[in-house]
Structures are given as structure tokens and as C-alpha cells.
Amino acid sequence: MVELRFDVLGIGNAIVDVMAKIEEDFLLRESLVKSSMRLVDTTESERLYRLMPPSIEASGGCAGNTAAGVASFGGRAAFIGKIAEDQLGDIYRHDMRTIGIHFDTPRLVGGDPTARSMILITPDGERTMNTYLGASQELAPADIDPVTVEAAQVTYLEGYLWDRPLAKDAFRKAAAIAHQAGRQVSLTLSDAFCVDRFRDEFIGLIRDGSIDVLFANESELKSLYQTASFESAMAAVRDDGKLAAVTVGADGAYVVSKESVDLVPAFPVETIVDTTGAGDQFAAGFLYGLARGLPAKVAGELGNLAAAEVISHIGPRPAVSLAGLARKSGFPI
Amino acid sequence: MVELRFDVLGIGNAIVDVMAKIEEDFLLRESLVKSSMRLVDTTESERLYRLMPPSIEASGGCAGNTAAGVASFGGRAAFIGKIAEDQLGDIYRHDMRTIGIHFDTPRLVGGDPTARSMILITPDGERTMNTYLGASQELAPADIDPVTVEAAQVTYLEGYLWDRPLAKDAFRKAAAIAHQAGRQVSLTLSDAFCVDRFRDEFIGLIRDGSIDVLFANESELKSLYQTASFESAMAAVRDDGKLAAVTVGADGAYVVSKESVDLVPAFPVETIVDTTGAGDQFAAGFLYGLARGLPAKVAGELGNLAAAEVISHIGPRPAVSLAGLARKSGFPI
């Protein structure tokens, strides 16, 4: 067996977040579905940007955020994602490497610029994302370095990858390599609309054994099993027999397996400033906990801890050391 | 007389801030002088960036920050500064224009990239700046649009401009046009080291009537008059007979004129998160107040209000409407 070098390898869209606070009426005027993610082309991206208030920029992307969270817990993390040879790409690479994330996916040369997501944050802390995929959508099977995948205890994949045929092939390649090496594969459903686009394929991945650990929130899970009832959706995911973590906002998260369903209560947060990255950081804590051999319920607590930290400030990645925070809260890490 | 279209025109280095929290020992290891600004070349810029933790990016630059503060008060603001044809330049222009700042300085084509300042924020909220000037240092007299200068009640200039001969000529041209049009000219000393580099010239500008309103903090003022005694420095600036605003950190600011010296106490701040932009936002409030015909002491209060807002969060520009904040505090604006 290949030497274990990483707790978690994240594979996903490499995206720089462009964040601004807006009022609710901005969403209404623009007919945007609150809390969702939509893809925008160059024209729409430029149009919306012109309307957006002054913004701050920070590296983001679901799997990238999760890798950063794992690193913040003190875990060994790797990332595969496509950036361009431009300033936003430089920023993205810097933000990954300086926290020790292994990240050496070849940069896209001569194509679209590095991806960015215009994240509109309403006063209630909810975020509505408008993503221009740019270079990130050129992620291809050739970018999946087998040595890195084989060296990672868990390979974590974004549902968003399914939006592009090339990235989908990369996803499948990574999952196959991981399993061949005796490693685990994890999927986050990413977004209820994403699930709506690829429901049958996602269910196929779960049932054919491509996925060992599933992440979803309430609306994604209901969309996956095409039911308005959370109870039915929970029963369905339990029947499918994988380890699943289902986040339920302020209530925390359910840790679901064939044997049991446990509600792990959320960590208290004084003021929710920006929910961007909440799911990604939950996944970071949960996967880090599993990788360190902690029981799934304790891993869920680490997930809630990381989510609580990230929603208390603007930006999708931890602002303080999650390892320090976890130790202060008495976790044995 | 040309129609008055702007309360404040800021002229300065157009810089994107690259901000990260660091521990004190980072400054020690790198032999950096805490709370100061130093200029770095391409090589040192790249070296330091590699050592810096993950960062967030936001538009900055002293005069640009002040223009943004004036706009946040509901004032009419303009800005002249040089950006490149690159992604950071796009971000800078976006952040100025979407808050209504008039900004149409021709972009630098084929030269250095847009300026950035690596701002290291220590746990006490102090910021230490490492600035790569790039395209911003190409600001030249041809960039000073006379129509814009004549239309602005106050033209506000950074001492930092004095670091580059071309920008210095641009500074002089702007001051001459403003005075010819019967407008006012204001200078911020920017930094004690900057004063040290150009002391005689700055004193010359004050005494030959090029400057009507002077901004300084305690260390800049002591450096200007080459004295270790704040009292002597205050006496000297009073002798020079200009309207001066001297910020003294947590104590607030002195408003100094030939006739009087008033200490305007600082606004209370719960936690100082990041002092970046404190002086710039003080200038925004003070100049906005003067432009709206308020007494200098009340203008100083508006300056303190704006400074208190900006140091309570990361980033050099207001995160909320200063107009709203000022009205809530009972100011007649």
C-alpha cells in the first residue's frame, strides 16, 4: 500500500470569492434565488459585477475551503483544481500553499481566467453565489495525479464537478484510483439545484459503491430523494447504507449510518455574519475527525465547531486556528 | 468659477491591500518596523508574499480610502491614481466606481502590474505595510485632469506621492490648478519615515502656501519639526498657521488653527481589530465636514466617528454607511 501522506485530498473548482454585503432588495431586483449557487457566463458575470457594491476577495471553492479547514485543524491536506496563469490564480495558489496544502495542478495556459464567484451577503448572513467557472472548468482526467490520490486517506469531491463532462471524468478517475488503493471517497451534493441537474447519476454513484461518505444539507437530501419530507429523505439515505452527514443549519447535523442516526447539536454562535463556507468547514471537521479515527459523532462535533467559526466572520475559510479552537473546547486532537 | 461637482478629490497611489493576520514574531523575524510603511521591489515583494499566511484582498491606498470614506458619508468624491490593465486593476476600478467615485485616470498599458500592499496585522490590531508600487508610481502630470481638480472643493494629496519624481510633479500641478480655481489643497504626511525623507520639501509646501489643510499623526508631526516633544511640534504647527488635524490614536485628534487648539475625543471602540485606514477615514470625515460647512471641531468629530468604524473590522474602508452612522449619532448631515 502506498504511504499515507494526506488526511484529505479535496478535488473541486478553484474559485476566488468576490464578496459584498447587499440588501434583500438587490436579490429581488435581480431575481436571484437566495442561498443558492448559479453559474454565470462572461457577459452576465461582468453585468452583475458592475452592479455589485465594493467587494473583498478571498480564495474559496468548496473542496478548496474544506482542504483549508483540514489544514487549520492540523491535518495534512492536498487539493486538485484548475487555476489560470493570472493574478487571481497567483492569489489562489498562495493561499493554499502557505498553509501547507499540497497543490500542484498544472495551471491553464492561454484559456479563460481563474474562476470567481460573486457572493452576495444579505443582512441575515445568507449568501447567494454567482459563479463564473473560467479556468476551473478545464479540470481534466490528466490533472488527477494518481500518486496524490493514493496517498490520501479520503478523497473529497464536489457535486459541482458534475457540471462539466471533463471534470466528471476526472471525478470518476479519482474515485477509481482511491478505491483501488484501499482509500475512501466522499461526495458533497453541493447545492439542491446541482442535485436536481444530476439526481440519477448521484444516486448511481452512492448505490454502485463509488461513494463511502456523503455530505448533504436538508434541501439537497430532499432533492436527492425527490421528497418534501425530511423524514422520508433521512429514511432513504439510511437505506442506502453509507455514512452520511446531513447538516440542518442552526440545529446542527445528523450523523447517519445503517446502525444509527444521531443529531449532533450546533455550536452556539453569537452573531451569524456570513454563512459562506459553513458546509465546507463542517466537512473539514468531520473528515479530519474520521481521518484521525474519532467516532463519527465526535467527528460531527468537530464539523459543527468549524462551521460555527466560519459563519461568525466574512469569508469562507477559518480566521483562527481550528486546532487551537478544538483543543480549547476539550477535543482530544 | 467652475461649477463645484466634488466635495473631495483624492490623488494618490492606487493600491490593492493584501491583508493577513500574523503574530508579533513574524515582524521580529523579518526585522520589520511595526506600524510603518516600507516600499518593496518585485523580488522582495515575491519573497515576503511566499512567507505570508493566506490573505484577503481589498482596494486600498490612502487617498483612495479617503475618497471612499467621503462617498460613504454621502459626499461627492473623485479620485486620480494609476492602475494597470490587469485583474487587480479591474477590482480597484470596480470598488471605486460602484460607490459613485468619479475615477477615470487612464490605465497603464504594458508596464508594471497594479500596486499592492502586503499588510501584516498583529493581534493588537496594528498594521505593518509592505508596498509594491507597480503601476501606481507611473502617475504623471498628464494624469491630472484640470477639469476634475477645478470642480473639487478640496484636493487631498498623499505625502507618499513625494517618493516618485513624476508623481511629485503631478502633485504640484494639481495644487496649482486647485488654487488658481479658488479651491483648497490638503496634504497628509502619510508616515513618519516619509516625512523623514522629504521634511524640507513638506515644510516648504506648508510655508509657501501650497497647502491649506494639513493631516498628521503624532509621530509624523514630531518628525516634521524634528522634535521629541509633542508640545513643541504642536506649537510649531500652530505657528505655521494652517488648519491642521493631528490624530493621537486612542485619545482622538487635535484640531489646530492659529486661533485655537481643540482636543476632540475619540469615539469608543469595543475591540480594535485592524487599524488599517484609521488616518484615511479620519481625513474623510474631517474633509467631508469642512466641505459641508461644519465647524472644524465638528468635522473632527466626524473624522473620529469614521476612524472608529474602520478599526472595528478588517479592511481599510467603511463596512457600513458612514452617513447612516453619523445620523444615528446625531450629526446634522
Joined together, the cell numbers standing for residue A76 give 495534512
B22 found inside a domain: no
Could you tell me if residue A195 is inside a domain? yes
| Structural domain count of chain A | 1
Closest-CA distance of chain B to residue A293, Å: 28
Q: What is the mean pLDDT of chain A?
A: 97
Q: Answer whether residue A114 is part of any domain.
A: no
The secondary structure of A91-160, three-state, reads HHHHHHHCCCCECCCCCECCCCCCEEEEEEECCCCCEEEEEECHHHHHCCHHHCCHHHHHCEEEEEEEHH
Q: What is the ipTM of this complex?
A: 0.93
- Is B55 domain-assigned? no
Q: pLDDT class for A2, splitting at 50, 70, 90?
A: confident
Kindly give the parts of chain B with pLDDT less than 50: none
Q: What is the pLDDT of residues A234-276, one digit of tens each?
A: 999 999 999 999 999 999 999 999 999 999 999 999 999 999 9
Residues 6+ apart with CB under 8 A from B132: B39, B40, B41, B42, B45, B115, B116, B117, B118
Question: Is a pLDDT exceeding 80 seen at residue A1?
Answer: no
> Which residues constitute the domain of residue A67?
6-12+61-102+136-325
- A95–B21: do the CB atoms touch at under 8 Å? no
A166 CB-contact burial (10 Å; exposed 0-12 / middle 13-18 / buried 19+): middle
pLDDT tens readout for residues B18-52: 999 999 999 999 999 999 999 999 999 999 999 99
Q: For position B222, what pLDDT does the model report?
A: 97
pLDDT digits (tens, 9 = 90+) for A3-27: 999 999 999 999 999 999 999 999 9
Residue B198 lies in a domain: yes
For residue B146, what is the enclosing H or E element? Answer: helix B146-150
**Per the domain annotation, does B234 fall within a domain?**
yes
Q: What local confidence, expressed as pLDDT, does residue B241 receive?
A: 94
- At A181-236, the pLDDT tens digits run 999 999 999 999 999 999 999 999 999 999 999 999 999 999 999 999 999 999 99
CA distance A148 to chain B (A): 23
What does the pLDDT read at residue B85?
Answer: 98
Query: A interface toward B at CB cutoff 8 Å?
Result: 18, 21, 49-59, 68, 86-88, 91, 94-96, 98-99, 113, 315, 317, 319
Would you place residue A309 in the very low, low, confident or very high pLDDT band (cuts 50, 70, 90)? very high
Q: What is the pLDDT of residue A332?
A: 87
pLDDT at A176 over 90: yes
Contact B94 A54 (CB under 8 A): yes
Q: Do A54 and B52 touch (CB under 8 A)?
A: no
Rounded CA separation A31/B182 (Å): 48
- Please provide residue B186's backbone torsions phi and psi, each rounded to the nearest 5 degrees: -130, 145
Contact A55 B315 (CB under 8 A): no
In a domain, A42, yes or no: no
Q: Which residues of B touch A59 (CB under 8 A)?
A: 54
**pLDDT at residue A265, as a whole number:** 98
Eight-class DSSP state of A23: -
Residue of B nearest to A88 (CA): B87
Is A31 a member of any domain?
Answer: no
Secondary element (H or E) of residue A88: helix A87-97
CA B65 vs. chain centroid, Å, equals: 6
Identify residue A31 by its one-letter amino acid code.
Answer: S
CATH of the domain at B153: 3.40.1190.20
Q: Does A52 sit within 8 Å of B56, measured CB to CB?
A: no
pLDDT, position B332: 87
Query: What is the pLDDT at residue A333?
Result: 85
pLDDT of residue A186: 98
- Minimal CA separation from B17 to chain A, in Å: 10
* Among candidates B56, B68, B86 on the partner chain, residue whose Cβ is nearest the Cβ of A315: B56
Question: Quick check: A108 pLDDT over 90?
Answer: yes
Tell if the CB–CB gap between B53 and A91 is shorter than 8 Å.
Answer: no
- List, edge to edge, every strand of the sheet that includes A152-158: A77-80, A6-11, A152-158, A184-188, A213-217, A243-247, A252-256, A261-265
Looking at residue A163, its amino acid is: D
